[in-house]
Structure 1
Amino acid sequence: MARPLQCAPYARDHSAINLHGNAATWWSQAEGAYARGNVPREGSVLVFKASGAIPVGHVAVVKSIVDERHVVLNHANWSRPGMIETSAMAEDVSAQGDWSSVRVWYAPTRSMGLRSSPAFGFIYAPGTDAPQQPAGASDSFQAAFATLPAQG
Structure 2
Amino acid sequence: MNAAEFRDSSRLGASAFDQDEALPYLQCVPYARSVSGIQIYGDALTWWEQAEGRYARGHQPKVGAVMSFAPYGRMELGHVAAVSRVVDSRTVLLRHANWSPIGGHRGQIENDVRGVDVSPANDWSQVRVWYAPIGDLGTTAWPVNGFIYPDKPGKQKGYMLLASSKPAPVAKAAEAPRQSIGADFLKGVRPEVDVKASPVRRQLAMSYGVPKSAGAKPVVSRPARLAPSLSDDPIGRIIAAKTR
Gaps of 5+ in 2: 1-21, 162-244
- Give TM-score, length-normalised by structure 1: 0.82
Misfit runs of 4+, over 2 Å: 130-133
Q: How many correspondences in the alignment? A: 133
Q: As a proportion of its length, which structure holds more helix?
A: 2
2:113 aligned to 88, 104, 120, which one? 88
In the TM superposition, what is the alpha-carbon distance from 1:54 to its structure 2 partner? 1.5
Match of 1:148 in 2: none
2:77 aligned to 49, 52, 56, which one? 56
Match of 1:121 in 2: 146
1:104 aligns with 2:125: no
Deviation sequence 1:22-48 (CA, Å, 0-9, x none): 111100000000000000000000000
Structure 1: distance between partners of 2:91 and 2:99:
18
Q: As a proportion of its length, which structure holds more strand?
A: 1
Bigger radius of gyration, 1 or 2? 2
Structure 2: distance between partners of 1:42 and 1:20:
21
Structure 1: distance between partners of 2:64 and 2:123:
18
Structure 1: distance between partners of 2:98 and 2:135:
16
Q: Percent identity?
A: 48
- Give TM-score, length-normalised by structure 2: 0.52
Gaps of 5+ in 1: 134-152
RMSD: 1.6
Structure 2: distance between partners of 1:119 and 1:3:
28
Match of 1:140 in 2: none
1:43 aligned to 64, 82, 89, which one? 64
Deviates more, 1:1-10 or 1:35-44: 1-10
